[in-house]
Structure 1
């Protein structure tokens, strides 16, 4: 059996949840994933120092983490749930605050994050029972109820590694109910400490060479679409496109996001990133050219993109077994100074969607056995490299114990395996022997890690309408920026606001396959961002921005924060 290289890339990303007028956080997912998932992922790497991995931090996530660090340092808390957790007298909070607690503090996977905790489940049962009896009005719960609910919500969103080692969490979970303001403040302080210590933990892991830190264009834009809407036709030939035939100045905007990300990485980690994980793994030939010009050595995308590229290159020929083409790096023709890797979609989706239903040890053994099968099918001169790439945060709430046993067993098995060697893309490319294995891919089909297409972000009426609103805003932006109406400081503010509007996340959520309550919130935040862009440009806000773009579906079960690759 051949020796095999394995690259695990954990992609850490949250869109910008801050309201640009108030600077309030509209949603709490940055700090919640920090205290649960990002802390656990760091713990597992620290506990297995011989396991190597690539950790990809999107700069807009780092911006928000630094914002939270500042909030705790100054005491000016701009996240409503955190502010309520620290509020001394919950009996005097407004009805809006009470509704905010009730609306948000049961969010999470109930099977893994609520039902295992009887005290938390009891709070939910009481809420469910009384709300059904008084469906038309807000139930007048006691201040103690709100105190207990705030504590349990945050305990449920605390990482397993924290629960096992932090006295505050263990004592609060054992107490179960009747939490005082003093006890809430103990939890509040811990949250601040976890957030403040997070990036230094990953920086230390990078300094030892255990992990490679990579980046993504700053606000997570769908770069190929910003450059050219018609790139969507590589994956779906008849996909309807926005009324606007192109995004004005898209290529320069992609360069802006990329340069800003590289600058962010240099300032935060002291080095230029070796590689880029594009937002949504989305690539196209023009985007690869921009990456190559920036000095990036590697990028990565989805298996579906490679399959579509090979079909495009040989349209009349059936593809060979995936073992013959997937587990190798490629140089895109004419872009000889950047190497592209393609993820194993099946293995990545097993972690993202299937292993949560398995016993942790069984899942870890199945993963290792799958890698062994790849090694057995390799030809003597192939030296395969397997890329497993997925979100570093969203899958774990579906696992018992936040995936603790699966990840611990997986890293332990890989650590002791003599034929599988975890590595990073930077380390892989530093070996002349590995670079010798690079093959040329003469044709690259534009696409993403979801289905190998851009259909998640463009092509249906609601997504296309959202693009048209952005195109119109960008046309107005260009006219104002070229004039002398704004100062340099005002132009910078408008440019950053535009960058946030260009995030891929807004377009992800539009569509009736996503849950209505989440779609409504993202829809409003997107229109708020566009509204603020017009205000920064000192232009009238178009009335159309008062109308929702998408409503989602109250019965939707598909969609959400993750999507299968096929």
Structure 2
């Protein structure tokens, strides 16, 4: 039977720039932890299923950090040079276990940064290490009364805790290795040689990630795409007014616009291409604009660079249909959701994410038996094919979500679900797994008069602008950009200093800072990101030789809520 419905599964791989400045310490360890868990496993699943096709999107700042970790770990193992990540240094023993109570408490808390039901509880020796001191799953050691007696614990206790934390973060494909199995059976009293072998495994994994994805692309199994360099929201750099399509009445930053924003957006695209070509040896065909944030001015910029496709969320599709004068009946049938849009006056095709199907993977199926989840997912696709009928072969269903954050909540890092899903999709008689580059040429495009500005989250930019804390963050950035522009205009910087300041500005323009500002996010995560954001801005001022404003010494946002899946995902509701 001929394949009748095209399906594109797109995994977005993204971590923000966690270093303090361009070359300082890593403030958070998520790049290497997701590297050894998710980026490694996601490559392994594709390698085991050569008939499975997918799009894998990388943020350029993630590629740079993956590469940097591999090199820092290599220097650590060869020469004993400490890395710029405290957790790795503690594991290696090149940084001693703290003797002060606050330092020890921090180690205990940091070694609980994971989803305990899936990453601590399945390992009795790991759970026992925490239970013996009364540590809670939330990592709140002080509240549980453990702070006072941490000083009585041996150094070996903390080394064992650090070892188990890293073992728990290893992906399913690495946990199957004899070394890891041996360490897990060993359970405790891990020696310096044990920990060095574990570090060697981590280094080998990190060094191999980019080459593995490059190999998948070179054999035609995977399409690799990119986001703009620093993961900025291009439509907001271009024009704050782009928030008005979906948020007509929301408060805006005091600044009316981001100065020189269109030029900065183009810089991020150009720099992103350069980094992508450096690591993958080819130019990408498409761009997943940061957070699926699209607008007609951003689409025009993609057109200038010759990109053939981009993508966004279902909310943007719905708003664009309304803006283009589509009938309510046409919108309710959702037929045009399953086709790339050809927006009047622009060449790149725009694909739209099926929010329901994507969010089933991101938020729902983690609690299901893998076989039931796979059956349900495939059944949904079969229903879409039946609904579209003979025209299904000209349509494409776009499944787009983060490639790293959901699996922490699945048994065995999503191994059983992804293995079964890839097998079912690649063998299915009527579902044809494909890529966006292929479908930009093959699928029948749907004309769209106007593209509404918005993102894959709620179809708006409310996650990044339009509330008090987020707007304040933009005003801080605008002030820093004006200082940067003044330094450039006055020729205050030589070529090397200008290059450094320009890259630092790109870090400050990333979307993740604004994502976390707001009282609906966990206080601990908000604190991590708002502190790092102020650090990045202060570093920019230092690089341009200007005193940082005093408000950067004050907390910008405190948080206090809870985020679904504790990562960079947000459920599309409303």
Same fold by TM-score greater than 0.5:
yes
The match for 2:117 among 108, 111, 115 is: 111
Shift in CA distance, 71/96, structure 1 to aligned 2, threshold 3 Å: farther
Match of 2:451 in 1: 444
Q: Once the 2 structures are TM-superposed, how far is the Cα of residue 94 of structure 1 from its aligned partner? A: 6.0
Q: Deviation per CA, 1:344-375, whole angstroms, max 9, x where unpaired?
A: 00000000000001001111111111100000
* Cα distance between partner residues in 2 of 1:216 and 1:146: 39
TM-score normalized with structure 1 length:
0.96
Q: Once the 2 structures are TM-superposed, how far is the Cα of residue 236 of structure 1 from its aligned partner? A: 1.6
* Cα distance between partner residues in 2 of 1:62 and 1:475: 29
Shift in CA distance, 173/480, structure 1 to aligned 2, threshold 3 Å: same
Answering whether residue 344 of structure 2 is matched by residue 344 of structure 1, we say no
Answering whether residue 132 of structure 2 is matched by residue 121 of structure 1, we say no
Shift in CA distance, 21/375, structure 1 to aligned 2, threshold 3 Å: closer
Within a 5 Å distance, the mapping from 1:121-520 to structure 2 comes to 121-128=127-134, 134=145, 137=148, 139-140=150-151, 141-164=153-176, 166-314=177-325, 317-335=328-346, 337-382=347-392, 383-431=394-442, 434=443, 437-520=444-527
- Is the partner of 2:337 in helix, strand or coil? coil
* Cα distance between partner residues in 2 of 1:88 and 1:468: 41
Match of 2:138 in 1: none
- Is the partner of 2:61 in helix, strand or coil? helix
* Cα distance between partner residues in 1 of 2:213 and 2:426: 20
Q: Deviation per CA, 1:127-147, whole angstroms, max 9, x where unpaired?
A: 326855646647212111101
Q: Once the 2 structures are TM-superposed, how far is the Cα of residue 2 of structure 1 from its aligned partner? A: 7.2
TM-score normalized with structure 2 length:
0.94
Q: Once the 2 structures are TM-superposed, how far is the Cα of residue 96 of structure 1 from its aligned partner? A: 6.0
Shift in CA distance, 441/133, structure 1 to aligned 2, threshold 3 Å: closer
* Cα distance between partner residues in 2 of 1:22 and 1:199: 21
Match of 2:108 in 1: 102
Q: Contact 1:513 / 1:558 at 8 angstroms: preserved in 2?
A: no
Q: Contact 2:226 / 2:288 at 8 angstroms: preserved in 1?
A: yes
Shift in CA distance, 233/133, structure 1 to aligned 2, threshold 3 Å: closer
Q: Once the 2 structures are TM-superposed, how far is the Cα of residue 429 of structure 1 from its aligned partner? A: 3.2
* Cα distance between partner residues in 2 of 1:29 and 1:417: 36
* Cα distance between partner residues in 1 of 2:142 and 2:551: 35
Q: Deviation per CA, 1:247-276, whole angstroms, max 9, x where unpaired?
A: 000000000000001111112111110000
Q: Contact 1:303 / 1:342 at 8 angstroms: preserved in 2?
A: yes
Q: Contact 2:56 / 2:225 at 8 angstroms: preserved in 1?
A: yes
Q: Contact 1:88 / 1:181 at 8 angstroms: preserved in 2?
A: no
Match of 2:90 in 1: 84
* Cα distance between partner residues in 2 of 1:126 and 1:183: 23
Q: Contact 2:98 / 2:104 at 8 angstroms: preserved in 1?
A: no
Q: Contact 1:311 / 1:319 at 8 angstroms: preserved in 2?
A: no
Structure 1 stretch displaced more, 382-391 or 293-302: 382-391
Structure 1 stretch displaced more, 241-250 or 87-96: 87-96
Q: Once the 2 structures are TM-superposed, how far is the Cα of residue 159 of structure 1 from its aligned partner? A: 0.2
Answering whether residue 550 of structure 2 is matched by residue 543 of structure 1, we say yes
Q: Once the 2 structures are TM-superposed, how far is the Cα of residue 24 of structure 1 from its aligned partner? A: 0.8
The root-mean-square deviation of aligned C-alpha atoms, in Å, is 1.8
Match of 1:20 in 2: 21
Q: Once the 2 structures are TM-superposed, how far is the Cα of residue 381 of structure 1 from its aligned partner? A: 3.1
* Cα distance between partner residues in 2 of 1:392 and 1:401: 15
Q: Contact 1:356 / 1:398 at 8 angstroms: preserved in 2?
A: yes
- Is the partner of 1:139 in helix, strand or coil? helix
Match of 2:535 in 1: 528
Number of residues paired by the alignment? 559
Q: Contact 2:228 / 2:289 at 8 angstroms: preserved in 1?
A: yes
Q: Once the 2 structures are TM-superposed, how far is the Cα of residue 332 of structure 1 from its aligned partner? A: 1.2
Ranges in structure 1 where 5+ consecutive residues have no aligned partner: none
Match of 2:5 in 1: 4
